[in-house]
Amino acid sequence: MAAEHTIIDRNAPIGVFDSGIGGLTVAREIMRQMPDENIVYFGDTARVPYGSKSKNTVIRYSRQIAHFLRTKQVKAIVIACNTASAHALEVLEAEQDIPVLGVIKAGAETAAKTTKNGRIGVIATRGTIDSGMYEQVLREIDPEFRIFGKACPLFVPLVEEGLTHDFITEEVARRYVKDLQYKDIDTMILGCTHYPLLRTLLRKVMGEEVTLVNPAYETAIELKQLLQEKGLDRQADRSEPAKYEFYVSDLADQFQEFANSILPYDVAGTEQIDIEDF
Ligand code: DGL
């Protein structure tokens, strides 16, 4: 967290990063809930996926990205990736003198408030499930919670192929969540940035009785509160609309196409950088 003596410019941009395109679901919520804030987004499209990589590798990548974002003078960093939040939040919090926020705490807290029977499902990448981070945060809130995790590694490529409403994805989803359906869960955390894009399909598969929690939404609320508390929310000059910058480590055109399909804003340019330089 920010050291007391650090002077941070409240009009500086918020740095948001993900292993690729998925974090745009978090950026989208920040844009909706804080339309005055400037954002610098980095998607690590050259090294995606993080979900199948080791903790040490994800920490190394996250550190490089934080260094890059600091060159853009960001006032806070949002780790808009569940896997990177699970593995690298603690490290970045300790190393950075600006606020760093992950998506797991917000998602877990919402699920804790939502559940009535204390039985919560978590679907995420293998890395996030194996880290046990959602479980840890939920148990800190209430040790009596029963938590059931399920890694769904095929969801990320299916979303990236644009198959969000396809019968193949529905069939894959049915197989993945079959176990969870017998556990009597009433709440399910969409613990991966891509999964909110499968919301309609997951709703169909899980039924109306199970509440789906999207950590992106709550993360944006938490960020807004944090910036206000610290006096770091942008003092907008209405004649100057918020600026959004996008950087990736590979395939800028492909990223931009995807960004334009999900953001409520026209992404004019995406710059490719060499993240290994940071
Ligand atoms: N952004 C990742 C997450 O939320 C999903 C994609 C990946 O595996 O890198 O866990």
Same domain, 123 and 158: yes
Residue from 65, 85, 87, 125 whose mutation best tests the ligand 1 pocket (most atoms within 8 A of CB): 125
Predicted local distance difference test score (pLDDT) of residue 237: 74
Same domain, 112 and 195: yes
Phi, psi of 193 (to 5 degrees): -60, -30
What residue owns the CA closest to ligand 1's atom 2?
81
Question: Quick check: is 3 in a domain?
Answer: no
Residue 34 has pLDDT above 80, yes or no: yes
* CB 51 near ligand 1, within 6 Å: yes
Same domain, 70 and 207: no
**Ligand 1 centroid from CA 159, angstroms:** 11
pLDDT class of 136 with cuts at 50, 70, 90: very high
Residue from 16, 17, 19 whose mutation best tests the ligand 1 pocket (most atoms within 8 A of CB): 19
Note down the domain range covering 87: 14-102+217-277
Residue 4 has pLDDT above 90, yes or no: no
152 annotated active-site: no
81 annotated active-site: yes
Same domain, 77 and 51: yes
Same domain, 206 and 117: yes
Residue from 50, 133, 198 whose mutation best tests the ligand 1 pocket (most atoms within 8 A of CB): 50
**Ligand 1 centroid from CA 82, angstroms:** 6
Mean pLDDT of the chain: 94
Question: Quick check: is 2 in a domain?
Answer: no
- Last residue of some domain: 178, 200, 215? 215
- Last residue of some domain: 215, 233, 259? 215
Predicted local distance difference test score (pLDDT) of residue 240: 82
- As a whole number of angstroms, the longest Cα–Cα distance in the chain is 55
Percent of the chain at pLDDT > 70 equals 97
Q: pTM for the complete prediction?
A: 0.94
Backbone CA torsion sign across 72, 77, 82, 88: positive
pLDDT digits (tens, 9 = 90+) for 64-106: 999 999 999 999 999 999 999 999 999 999 999 999 999 999 9
Contacts of 177 (CB under 8 A, 6+ apart): 121, 123, 150, 188, 202, 205, 206
Predicted local distance difference test score (pLDDT) of residue 239: 75
Question: Quick check: is 4 in a domain?
Answer: no
Instruction: Please provide the DSSP assignment of 11-60 as one string.
Output: TSPEEEEESSSTTHHHHHHHHHH-TT--EEEEE-TTT---TTS-HHHHHH
Contacts of 184 (CB under 8 A, 6+ apart): 117, 119
Predicted local distance difference test score (pLDDT) of residue 90: 97
pLDDT class of 3 with cuts at 50, 70, 90: very low
Mean pLDDT of 28-33: 94
Integer Cα distance of 27 and 16 in angstroms: 7
Q: How many domains does the chain have?
A: 2
* CB 49 near ligand 1, within 6 Å: yes
Percent of the chain at pLDDT > 90 equals 90
- Atom of ligand 1 at shortest range from CA of 156: 6
Least confidently predicted of 161-165, 198-202, 250-254: 161-165
pLDDT class of 170 with cuts at 50, 70, 90: very high
**Ligand 1 centroid from CA 7, angstroms:** 32
Same domain, 88 and 158: no
**Ligand 1 centroid from CA 177, angstroms:** 19
Same domain, 144 and 241: no
Predicted local distance difference test score (pLDDT) of residue 2: 46
Amino acid at 1: M
Task: CATH number of the domain at 153, please.
Answer: 3.40.50.1860
Same domain, 252 and 198: no
Same domain, 234 and 263: yes
Residues forming a β-bridge with 213: 189
Amino acid at 50: Y
Residue 157 has pLDDT above 50, yes or no: yes
**Ligand 1 centroid from CA 101, angstroms:** 16
**Catalytic annotation, pick one of 24, 81, 98, 205:** 81
